[in-house]
Amino acid sequence: GAPAVTRLTVIGSINLDLVATAPRLPVAGETVTGATLARHPGGKGANQALAAARLGAEVALFGRVGDDAMADEALALLRLGGVELKGVAVDPDAPTGVALIAVDPSGENQIVVAAGANHAVTVADLPERLAGPVVLQLELPIPVVEAAVARTQGFVAVNLAPASPVSDALLARADLLIVNEGEAAFYGERLHAGGGRLIVTLGAAGTVMFEAGREVARATPPKVSVVDSTGAGDAFVGAVVVALSEGMTVETALAFACAAGAVAATKPGAQPSLPSRAEIEAILGTG
């Protein structure tokens, strides 16, 4: 039969992404005209929550938005996707987080993030006890992330993005750490000290999983024509946590998550591109 429904808690950032696609990226002091603007809901926390929900998980998101019109836009796809938003507070003073993204035709980008309400999240916004699986990233204040990890009973996964200083206690407590190559270089050998599982994503080259410093599995994504890689990493995180929670083997879970990231990269925008289970199974040929 179908696997039991996975219940996930995601604690993380909620943004509105304003994406200007321009003929080229400006240099300092330069104005480049002729751009087209798109507005997409984003933020690593929101993206990962929706990624998991689209794969059939029941997801509750904790975070903060501003008391402004951008909040409705930022939460629109989460609402449609059935993500529970009772844990999303409305901040009376700080605006909804915004990412200003400039993209050129080759996909190169420049991003400026104004965290707004995301940086006003406090430990008081979190439940007293968190039952796993819980998924976190580092776009909230680090003390809040640290407290959430410490409070979680059961499985906790931390996507150490963007690379920021965290305590050894967090690295040791996490059952799963997920990093890309740049983040892996930032943390170095500390990533292996905890003895939990570590996943390093290598873009088109795929993914490697380590356990207590030893490689235990690897997977490569299916070949796709990349349109926009925004959100591919978040699709991967949501998918790998759902897959492991459902009891897939590490090899199957990695292949499933690599495929999720690949499908997400074939469509523009972070949240609009997050795949359904049917899309992943189609590209893997396992449907």
Q: What is the C-alpha to C-alpha distance for residues 82 and 78, in angstroms, rounded to an integer?
A: 6
Question: What amino acid is encoded at 75 in this protein?
Answer: L
68 contacts 8 by C-beta, under 8 angstroms? no
Tokens representing 13?
């950032």
Kindly compute the dihedral angle of the four CA atoms of residues 270, 77, 246, 128, in this order, to the nearest 10 degrees: 110
175 flagged as catalytic: no
Tokens representing 276?
């359904």
User: Taking Cα atoms as reference points, which of 219, 260, 201 lies closest to residue 236?
Assistant: 260
Q: What b/e sequence results for 128-155 when a residue is b if at least 16 CB atoms lie within 10 Å of its CB, and e otherwise?
A: eebebbbbbbbbbbeebbbbbbeebeeb
Contacts of 246 (CB under 8 A, 6+ apart): 3, 4, 6
Distance of CA 34 to CAs 104, 106, 123, 196, Å?
A: 11, 16, 44, 49
Q: ∠ CA 53-139-279 to the nearest 5 degrees?
A: 25
Cβ atoms < 10 Å from Cβ of 67:
13
Contacts of 220 (CB under 8 A, 6+ apart): 205, 206, 207, 258
Q: Which residues are catalytic?
A: 234
